[in-house]
Amino acid sequence: MNRLRAAISFMTILPTGRPVPFTPTAMIPMFPVVGLIIGGLLALFDQLALRIFPHPVGAVLDVLFLISITGALHVDGLGDTADGIFSHRSRERTMEIMKDSRLGTMGLVAIVCILAIKASSLAVIGPHRFIALMVIPAYARAGLLFGIRYLPYGRPEGGTGADFFKTPLPFSSFIWLLPPVCLSLFIGARCFLVNALFAGTVAGMILFYKRTLNCMTGDMLGAMVEVTEAVLFLAMAAGTGL
């Protein structure tokens, strides 16, 4: 429970009671569970919002809820990553740009596009909506385990994500990916699309990071969460207008 509380405290603004030690390697396996908690709260919030507002308004409120409950942690990483990688500079200069707290044009474009995809997708998701909203944030945060496992940390001098890479991540850490996978079965045949896109998106981003910078940072992990979440919401929305 201390590991879970530490992970909740790190990834959200939710209260967790008395302070717990910051143990990065111990909390990593709990990331999918934190995603399920975020998703469960999102699904409940969505049900309440749709009782008051039409779907387009409820969808925007859902996106704002996701940003708020995480303290914009991953959105910030998305903006910094886009500014750096799409600057098309040298590796050293790219890493410097990503560390800059100021938001550039590419970061702004990336954030607007990802949030627009999420909002427009959430506006039309119909069948299995509650389960989808609960499971997709868990998948997005489960992707972090693969990023930590398969790429080295990119800042030898240290950084906000350095402690998560100090110890090689064992395969036993992936056990908590099973709950969202099992829950995804309740969204029907579309679960195959969701699981395939989850695997493809995470693998594709890791390969892209490897090709461009051959490393991982905290910002890049945050970008993985945002992109994966957007792709999976889009998958649930596919075909609903036909």
Cα–Cα distance measured from residue 144 to residue 71, given in angstroms and rounded to the nearest whole number: 17
Q: What is the pLDDT of residue 242?
A: 44
- Fill in the DSSP letter of residue 169: P
Name the E strands within the chain.
Answer: none
Residues 93-111 have a mean pLDDT of 92
pTM equals 0.93
DSSP 150-192: HS-BS-TT--TTGGGGSSPPPGGGGGGGHHHHHHHGGGTTHHH
**How far, rounded to the nearest angstrom, does the alpha carbon of residue 190 sit from its chain's CA centroid?**
20
pLDDT, tens only, 109-154? 999 999 999 999 999 998 899 999 999 999 999 999 999 999 999 8
* pLDDT 10s digits, 210-222: 999 999 999 999 9
Average pLDDT over residues 150-172: 83
Of the pLDDT bands very low, low, confident and very high (cuts 50, 70, 90), residue 164 is confident
